Structure 1
């Protein structure tokens, strides 16, 4: 780390030059070094895939995609729960020269259609229960080809087995690491979801930083339950786990008993979770009924959590419990904890190798000294190339000299440990999922009974936050009816927990809602309700 007199904090030097390669080339080279080792175990079925089989399936699926007309520059959208097939198809699409855009399997038709439209995806991969939703969304867009897992026949959709049995040659895709590899959708520091352009170079860089900066032993067994359509689930858990020489245990989603059973039965050693899952691990009685003694490390990200919760999980599971920090726009990770060194409960760790950090006064733009809180800025090779088709938002997030403005308020202590204390950005975090208030407000304003609306996050012990709508009704309003109407049009994590009717929404001179004011009023209201 750099000395405390400098406003710029340096992560450790990279141990070696970052490879100039693509994501599938990088991962396939790693797994080819251990062909007989297990690459993945599917927790629900117990299916296993060796590294050699994974490599072979990636190649066959890439050949199959090319035979179906998938070309360099195309985008394949994946709308599916976590599974080994998610990994195979994603790496195959990249190997064929295209990019991958993961979508939330809980999306409605309208939400999925928007992502298909924005990403210009011509191909989509899904599972049978979601095929109808994908078809209906595709009818509104230019998506032409459907691939579905787990079936022999699927009408106009191509079974994944058909790709895996392709006898064609693997496509000779471009080896240019600066081409687009991954297109997740994120709300960034504010606003509605935007396509985050992550190149092969950026992703490979972040995987190398994670592997170097963490204590992930070869042969570790990690639970891949965080959604792969998120950077944490795909880049941090999946790609970094495979690159480090580990085995992935895939789980479609978090369900308490299935989650604990997977850890116990597969002797999982490493789990990366989000704060609501940490709450579950710290306090739920079900946890004590499973043998979790295989755990060597439990990490948390997606949102900061207090040192007390960290300590409770550590004491209960009897293994190190740490936090990390990142964002979709950097692949996945900016800070993490190396358990070989000092631990600092409540911190999100230290800056990853090859990365710089600084703390900036958001009002003046000047650098702040160690220990003072301001907006966290970072610079490194893992930064994204910009928001798809949105130069204005890109310019608001990336500075001309390559720093990313995170929108999070934090401080860095004398030893280089980073602490997140607040956030400038308006995103609501529900079970680690980012919810953009602007998106929910736009939907509310389509309801004939709503004259004005603002959405805030209300703190919640189990989910982190819950969306709450403050609305100005045009006429008499039934809050439960409005919530039901809203729930039909959004994914489950975006549903309104409460509706508060008011005469006016406080706004600044530019017309933006004063969310801090509303959050303060909401806290007073909840305290009043609790005391009554």
Structure 2
């Protein structure tokens, strides 16, 4: 067992909202959130008041402690208003990717038993279709006016003194993002107020580097745990300013860094790649950037060094999971060594084990093992999925990440492989089992297996090995999937095979396909 090298800290016993906004009164006139697309902004004073007003409005519309409110929204200032208003009431905010299909949204909100959805006009039709699949949803609130919905503005008409709610931070669930875990269909990750407060406190204690003078770029989605906690929560608790963008478009992204004088950017490797290599970058003044923190997928050392050299800023990497709120490891800012291949040491109050998955015994020092984590940021469990929870959490609090790691003499960890079957496309989770289920609904497909294959821009892309029943082309296979899933889940490569390798019990031997693909790429490296 390995302890964090940082001193232990005391985790505040407080609900999320008072912790995040502890500096708000002193910074009432300072911009908290600015929309990089529209220019709309909310000061800390306006943001805090809007949160109280919307909490009153939600309460007037029947939202009570423990209710689940679905939030389907891009990165705009009102995302934060709704998110923190829901949690003020002791209700639970379940966020979803706005580009998800109606079926995917409906499945999440049926599973989470959501009673209300909040969205934007462009997504109302899709959310309305989703609500028909989730029988518990009784109302859709739209940030605008759309027939058949409740206008968001009406939530501001019920005063600004929300009722007091007794919240037990260690027990009461605050947010319910969905994760595929180690495999399979998405599951609701129950994160308590204490989980999120702990992770914000842990990140502050180890010096993630955000301060009150910083202007952060909020281009990574707030619906994702990285954007939700590290960017949105991490900036607000420090009194910084967030400039949000509803989507990533390189030219707009670069323009906003230049015009808003962005100092700190939380990114994912595909965006770091663009900053390191895209010719358009040379046309913009990015000299205000002092720090790039990459997460959600591994960042290679060469790419980190190339980006740092081109922009003249610090590039660091962290590691975490939805199930750990999310941060567990982080590159020390004070280190002179930019080790892009490492995720750094464990943060404060975080214990780690490296375990042989076959025996659950700790591996010898210097050997590879599955990374297990224990700390105050580890989730309560999966919503209504006790078997899935038991499969990844031990009775004494260890969470099995499904990632294979190794620790060096400094106590720094490197993620070197994956036990779990997830594909990480641009930092977003794609579950092979979900794509296999879609493909098997095609009568021309007899059997299928989906694996991750490396990709320079995306990190990994899904590749399908298909046993066909009749005449079928790769383009037809990819089009069939594209019509039924979110764009980031699309199958990008197809190979037709005679049979899918399986164990005697019928489980797909995905590792054989991964190893075969890796050997093929090593013998035929890209030009």
- TM-score, normalised with respect to structure 1: 0.95
- Deviates most, 25-34 or 325-334: 25-34
CA deviation vs aligned residue, 1:36-82 (integer Å, no higher than 9, x gap): 22111110011221101110000000000011111111111111111
1:394 aligns to what? 389
Structure 2 counterparts to residues 7-406 of structure 1, below 5 A: 7-15=1-9, 17-141=10-134, 142-149=136-143, 151=144, 153-167=145-159, 169-177=161-169, 178-213=171-206, 214-345=208-339, 346-406=341-401
Structure 2 counterparts to residues 412-451 of structure 1, below 5 A: 412-451=407-446
Q: Note if contact 1:63-1:163 (Cα within 8 Å) is conserved in structure 2.
A: yes
**Secondary structure, aligned partner of 1:303:** coil
**Separation in structure 1 between the aligned mates of residue 54 and residue 526 of structure 2, nearest angstrom:** 60
**Separation in structure 2 between the aligned mates of residue 369 and residue 452 of structure 1, nearest angstrom:** 40
Unaligned runs of 5+ in 2: none
**Separation in structure 1 between the aligned mates of residue 84 and residue 67 of structure 2, nearest angstrom:** 14
The alignment covers a number of residue pairs equal to 523
CA deviation vs aligned residue, 1:422-462 (integer Å, no higher than 9, x gap): 11011001011010001111111111111111101111100
**Separation in structure 2 between the aligned mates of residue 14 and residue 95 of structure 1, nearest angstrom:** 28
Q: Note if contact 1:9-1:416 (Cα within 8 Å) is conserved in structure 2.
A: no
CA deviation vs aligned residue, 1:326-371 (integer Å, no higher than 9, x gap): 0000111000122123434121111111111121122332223442
**Secondary structure, aligned partner of 2:475:** helix
- Cα drift, residue 265 of structure 1: 1.0
Gap change, CA 1:526 and 1:415, over 3 Å in 2: closer
- Cα drift, residue 171 of structure 1: 2.3
CA RMSD of aligned residues (A): 1.7
Gap change, CA 1:200 and 1:528, over 3 Å in 2: same
- Cα drift, residue 249 of structure 1: 0.8
- Cα drift, residue 467 of structure 1: 0.8
Unaligned runs of 5+ in 1: 1-6
- Cα drift, residue 310 of structure 1: 0.8
2:448 aligns to what? 453
**Separation in structure 1 between the aligned mates of residue 11 and residue 495 of structure 2, nearest angstrom:** 52
- TM-score, normalised with respect to structure 2: 0.96
Q: Note if contact 1:215-1:338 (Cα within 8 Å) is conserved in structure 2.
A: no
- Deviates most, 65-74 or 164-173: 164-173
- Deviates most, 208-217 or 131-140: 208-217
1:4 aligns to what? none
